[in-house]
């Protein structure tokens, strides 16, 4: 769950964006659809990496019954954050000391769903951009965070792969995870939508 109240995003003394109120319940998805240079990326970074100089309140609350108490929030930015000289599999299991049989079965299930079950030994640098983003999403599924932040989601995938992305997000939401994404273009599949007008975040 994500709750933001009367939050001011600033650069020095200049206000970039005012967020009066956002409430994304556990298991739901919200989209911030606005032009570039409106503070979208900075807002996601402020949620993931809180800054004491910003005014207002940002609260993250774990889903009821969550077993992953150290995996509060994941931010996936436009540029993939993967080890390009390592394999797809090595990148998927990187956050874990070891994975159990249940996690391994889940990984192969999700890899088959996204058409990458035969690519576990492929180096990341030989994957397409969309495949890299799918690796990051599948890894997020295994981590099961409270909150998943997706920056510039409309630039991740083409139409067919976006439908695949929505299916993966449904699995992530089923664990109680909230999803907050940004885009320039409107996107289907979200419970709530916001935009920016006169440096203030408002409902669409």
Residue 69 in this model has a pLDDT that exceeds 60: no
Listed range (69-78, 118-127, 130-139, 172-181) with the worst mean pLDDT = 69-78
Average pLDDT, the chain: 90
Domain assignment of residue 191, given as a range? 2-203
Q: How far apart are CA 102 and CA 119, in angstroms?
A: 20
What CATH number should be reported for the domain holding residue 169? 3.40.50.300
pLDDT-above-90 percentage for the chain: 73
What is the reported pLDDT for 57? Answer: 87
pTM, two decimal places? 0.91
- Give the model confidence (pLDDT) of 137-188 as tens digits: 999 989 889 899 999 999 999 888 899 899 999 998 998 899 999 999 999 9
Q: Tell me if 187 sits within 8 A of 33, measured CB to CB.
A: yes
β-bridge partners, 148 = 74, 179
What is the reported pLDDT for 180? Answer: 97
Q: Tell me if 178 sits within 8 A of 27, measured CB to CB.
A: yes
Residue 86 in this model has a pLDDT that exceeds 70: yes
The tally of domains found in the chain comes to 1
DSSP-derived secondary structure for 55-73: EEEEEE-PPTT-S-TT--E
What is the reported pLDDT for 173? Answer: 92
């Amino acid at each position: 769950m994500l709750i933001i109240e009367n939050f001011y995003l600033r650069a020095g003394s200049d206000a970039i964006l005012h967020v009066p109120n956002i409430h994304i319940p556990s298991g739901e998805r919200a989209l911030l659809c606005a032009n570039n240079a409106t503070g979208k990326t900075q807002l996601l970074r402020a949620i993931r990496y809180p800054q004491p100089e910003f005014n207002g309140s940002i609260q993250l609350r774990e889903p009821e019954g969550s077993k992953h108490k150290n995996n509060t929030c994941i931010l996936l930015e436009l540029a993939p954050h993967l080890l390009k000289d390592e394999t797809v599999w090595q990148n998927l299991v990187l956050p874990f000391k070891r994975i159990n049989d249940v996690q391994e079965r889940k990984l192969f299930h999700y890899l088959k769903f996204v058409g990458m079950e035969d690519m576990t030994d492929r180096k990341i640098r030989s994957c397409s951009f969309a495949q890299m983003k799918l690796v990051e999403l599948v890894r997020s599924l295994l981590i099961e965070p409270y909150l998943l932040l997706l920056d510039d989601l409309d630039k991740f995938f083409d139409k067919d792969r976006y439908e695949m992305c929505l299916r993966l997000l449904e699995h992530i939401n089923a664990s109680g995870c909230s999803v907050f994404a940004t885009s320039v273009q409107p996107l289907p599949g979200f419970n709530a939508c916001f935009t920016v007008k006169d440096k203030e975040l408002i409902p669409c």
